[in-house]
Structure 1
Amino acid sequence: MSRSTLWWAFFVIVLALLVLRPLVQLQERALADGARGLREAFSLPTIGRVLATTAALGIGATAVAVLLGVVLAVSATMLPRGARWMAALPIVPLVVPPVAAIIGWLFLLAPNVGYLNTALRSLPGLGGLTTGPLDIYSPTWIIVITGVTLSPFVFLFVHSSLRDMGGEYADAAATCGAGRLRTLRTVTVPLLRPSITYSAGIVVLLALGQFNAPLLLGRAQGVDVLTTEMYKVTRDAPVDFGLGAGLGTPLILAGVLVVVLQRIVVGDSARFVVARGRAERGSARTSPWAAVVVAVYTVVVVVLPMAALVYMSLSPYWSGSIDLAALTTGAWRDTLGDRLVVNSIGLSVRTAAIAAVVAVPVGLTAAWALSGFGRIGPRLRGAVDVLSMAPVAVPAALLGFGFLFAYAGPPVVLYGSSTILVVVYVTLMVPHATRMQLAPLLAIGRSSYEASRACGAGMVRTVARVLVPQLRGPIAATTALVFVLMTHEFSATLMVRSVRTRVLGTALAEAYEFGLYPKVAVVALVMVVVTMAGVLIALALGGKESIRR
């Protein structure tokens, strides 16, 4: 066996330990003692309602996200010349942690003291209401909020495909007399089937494993899903890992089903390749309404929740009314003077930075294997492909629960240390780090690599001196995305939390449980600031190319 084969076999083993070990051990626990965990999970009195709510959240949120993401992507390609800078606005919500956005919407739409509800009740015809008219705690609004927070993922995939597609086909359809709606229905959407299907698959997996909105909003009306039921299991001592594993089994099966359906729906992706006659030119058909759509989306999804967070962070308490004379910085002083909060900021930044330093090279190595550059056999390449993408099909909450079980006891005990956070983050980020670096690696081609090797440079020197400098921008962009997603992570963090692993998400959850709403707003805004700072540093190191990405 060659040295190269041994190296790639070792890499596959490492990936398998990261991804499969917690899940395999968890399923073994669910099936132990005659599948006791599964039997207990499906004998719970509320399991039928929980499964139905989980399915409704997954399907409903996906429908909202796909519809909104496609509309935004199409609108971004139809912006007038002077407003084309607005095409970047739909991805701004990615910089805002979902948990912070949800808390912002809570302050706006709480039925009794939500700022927006209070304003709506002052309108003619609604003056007799003492609550509402909107209720963010209802299942419908939980679905809508979840779908809105996931829509940027759909936008990224669809907008990228629209840019690659160009405007030739839409222009040809217009020349033949087709209106905008008919062109969209008969030309654009069919060509976008792969990107819509792939993004919808990602979104439905994220929605089925959704934890933030059901935990923060659903408890008021008893809206529970599988992930929140698993979280309840972790709150009891001793933790019933068999029951938690049984509750997570439907999510694993759903992940496998979604991946299979994606392949069936897309089929041969070569059918959707378009021939372009003009490079990098969008459709000549523009509309001022496209700018209106993007602007309204940005105001509603970003500006309003952030404004609510800022106002609440300066308020002494949550009353539902706007009183500028009562604003104070007391909550900021108290929160930033809290040693536990300050320590959580440091731990969040430290663990996210360490995980990024690990995850990005791991992803680059996996991308190297999949690109065909490395001397790796087809079986090992297939194993790298499957293992590097497996975490996408597993909800973060379930993966966090698996790590809690796998590393809470011998032979490897990580629970209670910051190391378990790093391991969880790296595992969750491997798919993103791999795919974001694979396309640029393929675009470079083999010429510079082969020239370096022909001149006598070894593999390590070739990678360090030739390929990495060419990948500086993509590596920085990947690091920025990985850092964003890790600082946003809430569900897996809560699953493995302990007294010594309090990060910003943990601090926010604890303040929320005690009803310290000004403190909640401050912590949420600190999460936004930390995320933006990390992104700016990563992009600055990567230069202009990474910013364009």
Structure 2
Amino acid sequence: MADITDTTKGARAGWRAPRFDWTMAVFILLAVLLVILIVSPLSRLVIESFSDPKTGEFTFGNFAEVFSRKRYLTAYWHTLQLAAVTVVMSVFMALPMAFAVSRTDTPGRGLMYFAVLGAFIVPPFLGAIGWILLAGPNAGWINQVWTSLTGSEEPLFNIFSMWGLAFVIALNVFPLIFIFATSAFDLISSEMEEAAAIHGAGPMRTTWLITLPLALPAILGASMLVFLETIALYGTPALIAIPARFNVATTQLTTFFEYPARIELAMAFSVPMVLITVLLLAAQRLMLRGGTVAVSGKGGAREPMKIGRWKWLFLGHGVIVALLAVVLPAAILVTTSFSVAWAKPFSFGNLTLANYREVLFEQETMRNALMNTIQVSLSGATICTVMGFVLAYMIVRKLVPLAPVLAFLSVAPVAVPGIVLAICFYAAYAGPPLSLYGSSLLIIIAFVTRFLPIAFVSCASGVRSMNPELEEAVRIHGGGRFRALAEVVAPVLKKSLMGVWILVFVICSRELSTAMFLSSYQNRVISILTLDLSEQGEYEMLAAMGVVLLVITTSVVAIGIRMLGRDFMLRRN
């Protein structure tokens, strides 16, 4: 009996209360933060659009006013026209390049990758400025050369038109189609093409009858993304469409914030844009799940198709796209940044370093905008990557309740155009009780919300590829979930995480739509300041500021290429 008593006492003495699982507490806290981050601003879209501005009561009056005004309906129609033309132009630019790189023996593939990567790095608003300087109807360099050679008073190009606007946007968004099409072409076995060749079909006939139909779902899916990117873009339309008097949805949205601001109308006007986005994203997902060889198979043996003299045509096409998308805009920006007056012919007397001196040392507004851009980009990329990584781990491993719901919330911002998301954040957080308007924190929160889907999807793909036994081994030896994350999962996925960070950093540095309604005089970023300088006609300093931004982002991407490989930003997860 004494032995039993002693044993019981010994067991009690060795007993320890179970430690509180801080890991799970952090996971639940992060899940709550995700709900607040996504649901709070997006709910404003519904609440404000159905609220009477005077009484706050439920009403359909906002939608009635939106759909009864011809100006608003015209903006919708112009947006759909613009998006359709942009898709056609983007396909024409990207598809031959994707086919040449993936399926043929065309030389100069590195040049084509350069065109795609360069088009991604150059922000849309800088590309638009470059083409205004190149093809403006009065002082554009191309039109000046045309006038001097022909004596014609009519400009060769007028960038201030719907066609000019679609052309400039297409030069920026065609990489989307290139990435999807290349991924599809890479998964197609060359056996069927070889069989067609045996039966007498030439390279182009084989491509038209076999290769393109197999890749068609991916191409259509990418075209839908280009369509959505076009209807959501603000910077390029603000620079080109407004002077062209071509009203589109995003430029129309800004008019609702003229005094007195009518947020309820802005929300109601935004709802059709969100619905279009949701429908096209759903259609794209169904299309890419169609089970075709191009998008779901593992591919087979692939031999480059020998296309004879056609390869020089493909090479010429790639050279032209690289010139139009990267070389010409970058060259005119660099030239303008060193000019006293950009419209004057080249001469040593017109060269100066004063623009860079003002941007970097003398103009406090520009220096602050540059520092704000770096700050929000670094913060946004870091928070987004860490949050996306932890969310992906706890959702994929099903460590918290309602994991599918959290997964849906993590990717939900994809369905909301950036400028609409900015309006939602303005309505939710600009006023009391938080009163965040005028602080960089509001822009950082909006950027994290907007680009969280990029980090989450990429990290979730990496976590799924890992065997959970590695993490369980850490836990068996007494480690917690955070230790498993820090010592096992993160090191294995470090290249993926670094790629996500660089990608989000570059996107944040060039983002304009999301920052549009959230920046004030104190927290302006470069993209916002670009619009102000363009309206003032100060293209020389604008170009200098843009070149500094390009140097920063290009350096970051170059580091990524050095460490992660040439195409780390061009992979489709």
Normalising to structure 1: TM-score of the pair? 0.90
Cα deviations across residues 6-56 of structure 1 (Å, max 9, x unaligned)?
A: 766654432232223222213211111223332333343412221111111
- What residue number does 2:144 align with? 118
| Structure 2 residue 531 is matched with structure 1 residue 509 | yes
Cα pair 2:187 2:300 within 8 Å, conserved: no
Q: How does 1:148-297 map to 2 (within 5 A)?
A: 148-234=171-257, 236-269=258-291, 272-274=295-297, 276-278=299-301, 281-285=302-306, 287-297=311-321
- What residue number does 2:548 align with? 526
| Structure 2 residue 126 is matched with structure 1 residue 100 | yes
Taking a change above 3 Å as real, the CA distance of residues 177 and 169 of structure 1, as seen in their structure-2 partners, is same
- The aligned length equals 539
Q: How does 1:49-448 map to 2 (within 5 A)?
A: 49-78=74-103, 80=105, 83-89=108-114, 90-123=116-149, 126-127=150-151, 129-234=152-257, 236-269=258-291, 272-274=295-297, 276-278=299-301, 281-285=302-306, 287-319=311-343, 321-336=345-360, 337-369=362-394, 372-376=396-400, 380-448=402-470
Instruction: Report the Cα distance in structure 2 between the residues aligned to 1:42 and 1:479, rounded to whole angstroms.
Output: 42
Taking a change above 3 Å as real, the CA distance of residues 85 and 221 of structure 1, as seen in their structure-2 partners, is closer
TM-superposed deviation, 1:501:
1.1
Cα pair 1:65 1:147 within 8 Å, conserved: yes
Stretch moving more, 538-547 or 210-219? 538-547
Counterpart residue type for residue 56 of structure 1? Q
TM-superposed deviation, 1:4:
8.4
| Structure 1 gap segments, 5+ residues each | none
Stretch moving more, 9-18 or 425-434? 9-18
TM-superposed deviation, 1:400:
0.9
Counterpart residue type for residue 313 of structure 1? S
Counterpart residue type for residue 396 of structure 1? G
Taking a change above 3 Å as real, the CA distance of residues 457 and 361 of structure 1, as seen in their structure-2 partners, is same
- What residue number does 1:480 align with? 502
Taking a change above 3 Å as real, the CA distance of residues 71 and 81 of structure 1, as seen in their structure-2 partners, is closer
Counterpart residue type for residue 327 of structure 1? L
Cα pair 1:30 1:36 within 8 Å, conserved: no
Instruction: Report the Cα distance in structure 2 between the residues aligned to 1:55 and 1:276, rounded to whole angstroms.
Output: 36
| Structure 2 gap segments, 5+ residues each | 1-20, 53-58
Instruction: Report the Cα distance in structure 1 between the residues aligned to 2:192 and 2:489, rounded to whole angstroms.
Output: 36
TM-superposed deviation, 1:402:
1.2
Normalising to structure 2: TM-score of the pair? 0.87
Instruction: Report the Cα distance in structure 2 between the residues aligned to 1:87 and 1:454, rounded to whole angstroms.
Output: 50
**Identical pairs, percent:** 26
Instruction: Report the Cα distance in structure 2 between the residues aligned to 1:467 and 1:73, rounded to whole angstroms.
Output: 34
Instruction: Report the Cα distance in structure 2 between the residues aligned to 1:221 and 1:273, rounded to whole angstroms.
Output: 44
Stretch moving more, 349-358 or 458-467? 458-467
Instruction: Report the Cα distance in structure 2 between the residues aligned to 1:324 and 1:504, rounded to whole angstroms.
Output: 29
Stretch moving more, 526-535 or 395-404? 526-535
Instruction: Report the Cα distance in structure 2 between the residues aligned to 1:452 and 1:265, rounded to whole angstroms.
Output: 41
Instruction: Report the Cα distance in structure 1 between the residues aligned to 2:87 and 2:94, rounded to whole angstroms.
Output: 10
TM-superposed deviation, 1:71:
1.9
- What residue number does 2:13 align with? none
Q: Which has the larger radius of gyration?
A: 2
Instruction: Report the Cα distance in structure 2 between the residues aligned to 1:364 and 1:434, rounded to whole angstroms.
Output: 6
Cα pair 1:104 1:309 within 8 Å, conserved: yes
Q: Aligned with 2:425: secondary structure?
A: helix
Cα pair 2:90 2:173 within 8 Å, conserved: yes
Instruction: Report the Cα distance in structure 2 between the residues aligned to 1:228 and 1:428, rounded to whole angstroms.
Output: 20
Cα pair 1:154 1:196 within 8 Å, conserved: yes
Q: Aligned with 2:483: secondary structure?
A: helix
